[in-house]
Amino acid sequence: MKNSDLPIDSGGFPYSRPGFWLDPKEYRKICSEINQIYYAQYCKKRIAAHISFGIDGRPYTYWFENHGFNDYNIYQRVYDGD
């Protein structure tokens, strides 16, 4: 995969994985939640997982690359239910 196929952060640097498409409403919800606890839980972690409910009300783990506050590439969503 070429770097041009990868999403880029706000500074123009590419992430290392392709992004996972989320509904824009769900993407904003998850990024907002990550931002609220960023400095307590995710600061300086290159790869992280955030557990939350999707807009469909189902539980998921969202895996993301972290390039700093509000610079996240969500690359995987894993269903955490039965």
Order of strands, sheet of 47-53, starting from the edge strand that comes earlier in the sequence: 47-53, 59-66, 72-79
pLDDT (0 to 100) of residue 76? 98
Domain ranges in the chain are 16-79
The reply to whether the predicted model has a pTM over 0.75 is: yes
Summarize pLDDT for 21-69 with one digit per residue, the tens. Answer: 999 999 999 999 999 999 999 999 999 999 999 999 999 999 999 999 9
Q: In the structure, what pLDDT confidence band is assigned to residue 71 with cuts at 50, 70 and 90?
A: very high
pLDDT (0 to 100) of residue 5? 82
End-to-end CA distance of the chain: 34
- The count of residues in the chain is 82
pLDDT (0 to 100) of residue 81? 83
